[in-house]
Structure 1
Amino acid sequence: MARVSQQHLDARRRQILTGAARCFARNGFHGTSMQDVLKEVGLSAGAVYRYFAGKDELIAAIADEAFEYIRQAFTEAAAVSPPPTPDVLLGRVVRGVFTGQVYGLQRRTCAALIVQVWAETMRNERLAKTLGDGYAGMRSGWAELVEAYRGAGLLRGDVVADDVARTMIATAQGFIAQEALFGGVEPEALESGLRGLMSIDPHGAG
């Protein structure tokens, strides 16, 4: 029997994840069965279960993939001197999510899926751990960037790194939730708004 290439295996895994993401975004996690996923991806049960044991594994893999994309963005940003400012970096991350670089889905569909993943953590301990680990990784990534900002003379030394991390993560989450609920959210608005806030001079004219 011919050996299956890693490229083929990766492509098949991608096919399953993208199809499952479409199902979950369309019908919700609890409204989607594994049979729905099989029909969506056009594969046999054996082909799908070779990669994922069930819905919980699919959901966790989708969430982990999103965090991997964001971790990569932080890693690339930290390698640049000076690093991109928060408005540029967050705009880049949100734009990547909205243009389907994470799931290969349409913008609002992708945002809706992310919000569903967040909600699912309230009942799914395994998924909660996946998101908790990803959240910790993002906070760590931002902390490293804060140090890079300090080293480049862009940020005061008394700024608490974790405070910046939590605020930036919350900003991105808020924009994703707005897109899922209302639509029409543009990454350019996030960038512009952050630049505006960053320009505030507390000692300026009142």
Structure 2
Amino acid sequence: MSTERVAGEVESADEFDRREQILDAANECFTQLGIQRTSVQDVARMAKVSRGTVYRYFVDRDVLIEAAIEHGAQRFYRAVAAAMAGKPTLAEQLGAMAETHANILLDHRTRNRLMADDAELMRHMISDGDTAVRRSTKFLEPYVRDAQKRGEVGAGVDVTAASEWLARIVYSFSTVNQGLSFDMTKPETVRKYVEKFAVNGLR
């Protein structure tokens, strides 16, 4: 392997790590300040880089916000996949997904009381809602397909439609502060609620 190729690979890895560092910093700023109050300077300070470095990777604030939201979504699905691993049934897998989702929401709401008043956050949640559901639908499809093979989901049930149904259930908790049958401050109650009811309609 040539010295030039090694140097290029190291530089590419460094570039990737710096971009990840900035996106992690942006998500931390969103949690602490809310999206509406987060500036490029805030992100640069959190990432311990200059504003110029941030702009080198992201042409403007809007591009940075969109990239950070996508980065946060990818991190969410990694956490969900880890929580679902080893769960033997679709109901338990979906309960683990809902509990992870509730834990993240609880963390954000506890650490950032500004979230409820963050108009820009709400705009992104609404505009990105369809994207989030589509992303979750694709994520859940292999789990639903495997459950169908195990007989937990009816043979005549459409896998994509069933996955979308489950994705919309989990996404709906983003808009809930409190329920009659579960407590959003106790994510395990969200897990039990979803485990009990969500999959029943798929048989």
More helix by share: 2
Q: 1:30 to 1:96 in 2, by over 3 A?
A: closer
1:118 to partner: Cα distance = 5.2
Letter in 1 for 2:145: E
Kept in 1, the 8 Å contact 2:94–2:195? The answer is no
Q: 1:179 to 1:78 in 2, by over 3 A?
A: closer
Measured in 2, the distance between the counterparts of 1:187 and 1:199 equals 19
Alignment match, 2:94: 89
Structure 2 stretches lacking a partner, 5+ long: 1-6
Structure 1 stretch displaced more, 7-16 or 55-64: 7-16
Kept in 1, the 8 Å contact 2:144–2:153? The answer is yes
Measured in 1, the distance between the counterparts of 2:177 and 2:137 equals 23
Q: 1:161 to 1:26 in 2, by over 3 A?
A: same
Alignment match, 1:33: 39
Q: 1:178 to 1:7 in 2, by over 3 A?
A: farther
Alignment match, 1:120: 124
Measured in 2, the distance between the counterparts of 1:145 and 1:78 equals 10
For each residue in 1:137-179, what CA deviation from the matched residue of structure 2 results, as whole angstroms up to 9, or x when unmatched? 3223333332221111111123343443233223322333336
1:96 to partner: Cα distance = 6.6
**Aligned equivalent of 1:159, options 151, 157, 160:** 157
TM-score by length of 1: 0.64
Letter in 2 for 1:186: K
For each residue in 1:55-105, what CA deviation from the matched residue of structure 2 results, as whole angstroms up to 9, or x when unmatched? 22222122222333455578789998x9641333342464277359xxxx9
Letter in 2 for 1:98: N
Alignment match, 1:195: 195
Q: 1:144 to 1:78 in 2, by over 3 A?
A: farther
1:134 to partner: Cα distance = 4.7
Q: 1:175 to 1:66 in 2, by over 3 A?
A: same
Measured in 2, the distance between the counterparts of 1:32 and 1:197 equals 39
Letter in 1 for 2:194: L
SS in 2 for 1:154: coil
When the two structures are aligned, how many residues end up with a matched partner? 186
1:98 is the counterpart of 2:103: yes
Letter in 2 for 1:146: V
Structure 1 stretches lacking a partner, 5+ long: 201-206
1:45 to partner: Cα distance = 1.8
Alignment match, 1:203: none
Identity %: 22
Measured in 2, the distance between the counterparts of 1:55 and 1:141 equals 29
Q: 1:29 to 1:42 in 2, by over 3 A?
A: same
For each residue in 1:17-43, what CA deviation from the matched residue of structure 2 results, as whole angstroms up to 9, or x when unmatched? 222223333433333322232233332
Counterparts in 2 of 1:1-150, with a 5 A limit? 5-69=11-75, 84-92=89-97, 94-95=99-100, 98=103, 106-108=107-109, 109=111, 112=115, 117=121, 119-120=123-124, 128=128, 132-150=130-148
Measured in 2, the distance between the counterparts of 1:144 and 1:93 equals 17
